[in-house]
Structure formats: structure tokens, C-alpha cells
Amino acid sequence: MNFVLDTSVVVKWFSKTSEDELNSALKIREDYLSKKIFLLFPDLLFYELTNVLRYKPGFDSEKIEKVLESLELMRIDVVPFSKKVGDVAVEIALKYDTSQATGFVLLSIAKEGTPSTTIAPLLGMEATSLSRILKNLEDKELIYRKTDTLDKRKVLILLTEKGTEKRKIAKKVVSGFNKLIVDEIPHEKLAVFFEVMESINKIVEKYKKEN
């Protein structure tokens, strides 16, 4: 059986939560490790996970890095973004009066707020491009800015109620499309695909070091 993991499940693997929720989340992890099920991560999960954990008590940058290392060791395949997926995203964006870039920015904003300076690096986006998007989101009343109570030098970006609804739509689109991939493509083919992609990434890194 194939599953696309939601960030909320992965968070429960590493942070305190209610016993029932914890047991359910751990059961998924145990079933994957015992090869009873096949799991996939949407690539945006890592952005969401780091955003959520940084506001959890006891999680500093070192501990978050260890969480990411632990996930890497589990060798769960990651569904990357692609041009064709982007084309579908554009169609959906027009349907919901939003944009692809807007969707990714909304997904990068945590419930507790996200420092404006961390969003661009997370998304591999130029600061000037992000500034235009954030201004547009403010004009549409999807986000608002607030000074961090712990560090007055930081400005947090938070979602309005309207922005939260738009974020849910973006998340539903990403999760739904990833689920469709898992349902339509056999596990064996996906495994080969990710193995090839991993090899290509290693070759790219090797090339960078040698040139």
C-alpha cells in the first residue's frame, strides 16, 4: 500500500503529542520500516517541517538538523517538482485566483509565523521577487506582518484567516497530485526513478567539485 506523508504526521515522530495521535503516527513509521507500506514525501514537506519544529519547545537548529538527517537515513523517496506538475498548478491557480509562486510562499508560512528573511532561501527565490509577492499578499489581505516578541529586530509573516484558507487549497493541490502519482505508477517503477535521480544528483555534485 502506498501513502503520501503529511507534515503533521512526521512532526509527531519527533515531538510530544497526545498518546493516540503518537501511536497512530508511529504505527505508520513502523509499517514503513518493516516494508509493509511504501511512503513518499512531497518536497515541500521539508520546508513545512523545519518551520513547524523551530517553534516547538526544545528544538534548536542543531536538533532540527538531526531530525532531517534521521529522515534521510530512512530513505523515504521525495516527489520533486516538475514542469508538467507546474502546468497543472497554473491551471488550478487560475481557477482559485492565485499563482504558483503565491501557493509556495503560503505553504512556507508556519501557523506561528515565519521570519520574512527565511522564506526566500527556503524557496530558492530572490529577495526582490519575494518582496513583490509579499506586498501582493498583503494587498489581498492574505498575510500580515508582526514584530517578533522574542527578537524585536525580526519581522514575522503570519497568515490571515483568508490566507489560511488559500494555504489549505495549495496544500490540497500538492498532496492530491502526489497521491495521484502514487496511485497511478507502480511502486517498482517509482523506486527505479528515484534511484536514477539519486545517481544523477551524485554525478552533478561530483562534477561541481571537479570543475
Select from 12, 14, 7 the least CA-distant residue to 67. Answer: 14
| Per-residue pLDDT tens digits for 25-69 | 888 888 888 888 878 777 777 777 887 787 777 888 888 888 888
- CA angle centred on 79, ends 22 and 5, rounded to 5°: 15
- Which among 101, 141, 99, 134 is positioned nearest to 116, based on CA atoms? 134
pTM of the model: 0.48
Closest Cα partner for 107 from 155, 168, 160, 152? 168
CB 46, CB 70: distance < 8 Å: no
pLDDT in tens, 169-206: 877 776 676 677 777 778 788 777 777 777 777 787 77
- Rounded-to-integer distance, Cα 51 and Cα 29, Å: 21
Residue 134 CA to residue 138 CA, distance in Å, equals 6
Give all domains of the chain, ordered by start, each with its CATH number.
2-210 (1.10.10.10)
